Structure 1
Amino acid sequence: MTTNTQVFLNDLIAKNIIKETDGTRKLTIQGVTKNYKVYRIPPEYLHYNIKNGRIISSINRYEAEGNVLNLTDKVAYNNILQQYIVESNSVALQSTKANIKLFGQRLPGVVLNDGRVIDGNRRFTCIRLINAEDGANLYFEAVILDQAEGLTDKDIKRLELNLQHAEERPVDYDPIDNLVEVYTVIVKDKLFTVEDYARNTNKRKSEVEKMVKKAILMAEFLEFINAKDKYYVARDLNLDGPLQEVMGILNKEDSSDEVEFLRVKNALFTALAIPYRGDTTRYIRDIGKDILSADNREEFLEEYEDIVEDVYETFQEEENVTKEVIRKVNADLESKKKSESIIEDKITTTRITNIQGKPVDSLKRSITTLESIDTDQISRLDATSKQEFKSLMDNINATMKLFGEKLGI
C-alpha cells in the first residue's frame, strides 16, 4: 500500500480505518481548555513534524548537506527523522519502548488531520520500532486536530511548546536545540514574543530573555566563523556552556561603547573558535576573570587584534565550515600558537599579581584557623596523633622563620 498521496485522517475515521477509543486528553487551544477524543491510528498514515524542536539541529545538518526532506516518499522521510529521534536520547527512548511493550501506550499524542505528529514523537517512534522489530501491529493513540477548523501555525506551535515544555519538562532537550528553537520562533520568524514564549513554556520572562540573548550570540558566533544558520555546528562544538560564559562577560561590558564592546566580543569569539584547553567553558571563564577584568586587559586586546583578524578571515575563506573543518583550521593556523601564548601569559601574570598582593590576608585567615583549635583537646590526643600534631607545628615554625627572614627580622 502506498501512503505517498495526501490522506486526511478524518476521511479514514469515516471509513472506519481509524477508530475512536473511550479515552480523552485535555488540551488548551486558543485559550479554551477541554477534553478531546482519542483515536487509534495506523502509524503508516502519520509522519514526523519537521519543526520538532528536539531534532532541529539534526534536520539543519541534513539540509545543509544538500539533502531535501520530502513527504512524497513518506517511508523514507519517516525513517530519516526516526533515526534523529532515536539519537536525540536513546536511553530515554529504550525506556519508553520497554514501557509500551509492557503496558501499552498510556499517554495519547496529538496529531493534525494531515497526519503530522505534533506531540508524542518518541512514543510514535517506539510504536514504529516495536512493529518493525517484533512484527506487532500497534496503533498510535492520539487526539486529531483539524487545521481547517481555524487552527493557525501559531496555535499549533503554541500547543507544541506547552505540551513539550510545560507538561513534560524536557530534560532530554539538547540545550543547543532549545536555543535554536528560541532563536527561530522569537528572533528569526517572530512567531512569539518573549512574554508569549515564557507563558507557553512555563518559564520566567527573565529566563527566556537570557535564552534569547544567548541564542543571538550563538547565531553571531556562527556567522563569525562563516557557518551562518548551521546550528548543528554549535551543537557539535557543545557551545552551550561556553556561550553562557561569553554572555556573562559581555553583560559586564558597556554596550553603549559599540567599538569597545565589539572588540571584546570578537576576541571572545576568536578564543572560542581556536580554544586549546580541554574545558572550553572554563577557558572562556578564565579569560573573562583573569584578563578582561584585570589590569592587563587593554594590553591583551591590542595584542590580540591581529589574531582576531586572521582567524576571522581564515574562516571566511572556508566554503563549508563544519566541526572537522574547524579542527583542520585549528591544526594549521599559525595564529593559534600565538593566541595560546598571549592568553596563557596574561592569565599567569594576573594570577601571580593576585597572589603577591594578598600575603597579609592569607596570614590572617591562617591565624583564624589556628585560633579555632580547642586547646583542651590537644592534651587528650593519643601518642600517634600527638606526634603528627608536633610535626605540623614544626612545619608551621619553619614557615614562620622563613617569613621572618623575608621581612629581615
Structure 2
Amino acid sequence: MTTDLRALVANGDIAFTGAKPKLPTTLPDVTDSMLEVYRIPLKYLYYNDENGRIATQIKREYGDITPHSDETGADYNDKIAQFIEEDNPTALKKTKKSIKDKSQQVYGYVLQDGRIIDGNRRFTALRQLVDELGTTQYFEAVILPFTYDAKAQRAQIKRLELAIQMGVEDKLQYDPVDLSVDAYNTIIIDELMTVNDYAKESNLKVKDVEDRLATVELIHDFLVFINAPDNAYYLIKDVKLYNPLYELVKKLQKYFQNAGPKYSQTKETAFALLSKMISTGGDTVREVRDYVNNVMDTANNDEYNNQVEDIVEHLRDKLEVEPIKTAADFRKRLDSATPELRELNETYVTTVNRQNRGKNVDNFIGDVKETLNTLQDMHRGGGLTGNLHFNNFSRDQIEEIRDMLVKINLVSSDLIGVYEDEL
C-alpha cells in the first residue's frame, strides 16, 4: 500500500512550512510552484531501495525485498535504518544532535508515494528521536510529483539524486562499488541516461564513468569465474577487490583492443592471481600493477598464460564445488585450493625473476656470476654445498639435479658460440 502525499497536502493533512527551495539541477517537469517544503509525518515515508548507496547492502542481507512505509509495517525501514547507522554512526549521531537542538536545518526530497530521494540520515535520526524522546517528529521535504512507475520520471529522479548526492562537497562520498553499479544500472540496464548525462550530473569525467562501466563488466566476469552470482557486488566490497579490478580493466583495454582468445586467457589468469592475492593478503592494487608491468605488458605474457593454464583450470574446479555466496565461502574455497595457488605463485615468481634479469646489464652479469658461483661451490664440495650430504636426497632428487646439470652443460655450450659471434 502506498500513500499519495500530494493528496494529503490537498486535504490539509500535511502542512506547508513556507520554505521554497531551488533545485540543484533542472528538471523539465518541475516548476518553481512545485518546490515547497512540507512537514511530513514519518509514517508515510520509506527508504529508496534503488538508492545507489544502499542497494548493494540490501542485496547482500535480504536479496529481493519490497519497500514500504511504517504505515504498513516498520520492518522494512528498520532494516535499512540499521545499514544507515552502521555505515557512519558518528555522522548519524551528529545529525541527530543537530535536529534535537535546532530542529531539521536541511530539507529533503521525497516522491509523492513517500519514497525518500534525499535525506536518509535525517530520516533515520528522526525515527530514533521518536523512540528516544517519545515525541512526534516530522520530516521536512519537497514532495516531487513523480513515482518510479514511469521510465521518463525515473530518469528525472536519477538526475536529481545525482545532483544532490554528487554535486555537493560536504556530502558523504559514495563507496566506489555502489557508485559504479549505480552508473551501470542507470546507463546500461535501465537506459535512463547517457554516459555524458551521468558524468555531468554526478560531477565526474566521462572517461571515469566509462572506466567504471567497464569495471562492472569485469566484476561480472570475475564473479562468474569464482562461481558466485554475477550481481553479488557485495562480495567485491567484502574482499576489497574493486580498486584492483578498476586498475586491471584499464590495462586490459589498453593491451587487448578486441576481445579474443588471448584476452580471455589473460583475464582468467589475472582472476586466478587476484584470488591468490586475496588468499595471502597484502596490497592488491600494487600487486596488480606489478603483474601488469612484469608479465602482462611483456613478451612473456603468452608463455606465462600457457604455463598456468592447467593450474587455473584446477583452481576453477575447486571453486565450482558449490556456489559461493559470501566472502567467508570464497576464502574457505581458496583455502582448499592452496596447492594450486602455491603452484600459480611459484610460476609467477619464476617468470618475474626471468623478466627482471634482462632489465639492465649489471643485473644480468650479476645473475650469470651468481650461477657460476653456485656451480663452483658445488664443484668444490664434491657436488654439494654447505652441510648437505647425498644421503639427504632421494634417488629421484639426485636424478633431477643430474639432468639439470646436463641441460646446463648443453645450453652453456651453445651460448659460448653466441658470445663468440659477438666478439
TM superposition score normalised by structure 2: 0.77
Note if contact 1:225-1:321 (Cα within 8 Å) is conserved in structure 2: no
Note if contact 1:26-1:33 (Cα within 8 Å) is conserved in structure 2: no
Which moves more between the two structures, 286-295 or 115-124? Answer: 286-295
Alignment partner of 1:223 is 2:224: yes
- Deviation at residue 133 of structure 1 after TM alignment: 2.2
- Deviation at residue 98 of structure 1 after TM alignment: 2.5
Note if contact 2:255-2:297 (Cα within 8 Å) is conserved in structure 1: no
1:52-73 deviations in Å (ceiling 9; x for gaps): 1111110111234xx6335384
Note if contact 1:39-1:141 (Cα within 8 Å) is conserved in structure 2: yes
Note if contact 1:233-1:323 (Cα within 8 Å) is conserved in structure 2: yes
Alignment partner of 1:62 is 2:61: yes
**Partners of 2:222 and 2:89 in 1: how far apart?**
30
Alignment partner of 1:45 is 2:12: no
Question: Which of 344, 348, 352 in structure 1 is aligned with 2:353?
Answer: 348
Alignment partner of 1:278 is 2:279: no
Question: Which of 5, 8, 18 in structure 2 is aligned with 1:12?
Answer: 8
**Partners of 1:356 and 1:33 in 2: how far apart?**
72
* Structure 2 match to 1:161: 162
1:12-46 deviations in Å (ceiling 9; x for gaps): 32443311001122123227663611001111111
**Residues 208 and 152 of structure 1: is their aligned pair in 2 closer, same or farther, counting only changes over 3 Å?**
same
- Deviation at residue 162 of structure 1 after TM alignment: 1.8
* Structure 2 match to 1:75: 74
* Structure 2 match to 1:307: 311
- Deviation at residue 340 of structure 1 after TM alignment: 1.9
* Structure 1 match to 2:21: 25
- Deviation at residue 125 of structure 1 after TM alignment: 1.1
Note if contact 1:186-1:192 (Cα within 8 Å) is conserved in structure 2: yes
- Deviation at residue 207 of structure 1 after TM alignment: 2.0
**Partners of 2:184 and 2:354 in 1: how far apart?**
39
* Structure 2 match to 1:177: 178
Note if contact 1:55-1:88 (Cα within 8 Å) is conserved in structure 2: no
Within 5 A, what are the aligned runs for 1:224-239? 224-227=225-228, 228-239=230-241
Note if contact 1:277-1:283 (Cα within 8 Å) is conserved in structure 2: no
Within 5 A, what are the aligned runs for 1:363-402? none
Which moves more between the two structures, 110-119 or 94-103? Answer: 94-103
One-letter identity of the residue aligned with 2:155: K
* Structure 1 match to 2:332: 328
* Structure 2 match to 1:398: none
Note if contact 1:254-1:261 (Cα within 8 Å) is conserved in structure 2: yes
1:73-113 deviations in Å (ceiling 9; x for gaps): 43101001111122233332223223222322111101111
SS of residue in 2 equivalent to 1:143? strand
* Structure 1 match to 2:298: 294
One-letter identity of the residue aligned with 1:119: D
- Deviation at residue 117 of structure 1 after TM alignment: 0.6
**Partners of 1:126 and 1:187 in 2: how far apart?**
34
Which moves more between the two structures, 46-55 or 90-99? Answer: 90-99
**Residues 240 and 91 of structure 1: is their aligned pair in 2 closer, same or farther, counting only changes over 3 Å?**
farther
- Deviation at residue 173 of structure 1 after TM alignment: 1.2
**Residues 74 and 159 of structure 1: is their aligned pair in 2 closer, same or farther, counting only changes over 3 Å?**
farther
One-letter identity of the residue aligned with 1:297: N
One-letter identity of the residue aligned with 1:69: T
**Partners of 1:345 and 1:75 in 2: how far apart?**
59
* Structure 2 match to 1:145: 144
**Partners of 1:160 and 1:137 in 2: how far apart?**
28
Alignment partner of 1:189 is 2:193: no
Question: Which of 241, 247, 257 in structure 2 is aligned with 1:245?
Answer: 247
**Partners of 1:329 and 1:52 in 2: how far apart?**
32
**Residues 20 and 257 of structure 1: is their aligned pair in 2 closer, same or farther, counting only changes over 3 Å?**
closer
Which ranges of structure 1 fall in alignment gaps of 5 or more residues? 361-409
**Residues 195 and 332 of structure 1: is their aligned pair in 2 closer, same or farther, counting only changes over 3 Å?**
same
Note if contact 1:315-1:321 (Cα within 8 Å) is conserved in structure 2: no
**Partners of 1:162 and 1:134 in 2: how far apart?**
34
* Structure 1 match to 2:215: 214
- Deviation at residue 295 of structure 1 after TM alignment: 4.3
**Residues 257 and 235 of structure 1: is their aligned pair in 2 closer, same or farther, counting only changes over 3 Å?**
closer
One-letter identity of the residue aligned with 1:21: T
Number of equivalences: 354
Alignment partner of 1:89 is 2:91: no
Note if contact 1:182-1:215 (Cα within 8 Å) is conserved in structure 2: no
**Partners of 2:135 and 2:315 in 1: how far apart?**
55
- Deviation at residue 303 of structure 1 after TM alignment: 1.2
* Structure 1 match to 2:114: 115
**Partners of 1:178 and 1:87 in 2: how far apart?**
19
TM superposition score normalised by structure 1: 0.79
**Residues 96 and 354 of structure 1: is their aligned pair in 2 closer, same or farther, counting only changes over 3 Å?**
farther
1:322-348 deviations in Å (ceiling 9; x for gaps): 201110111111311111212223233
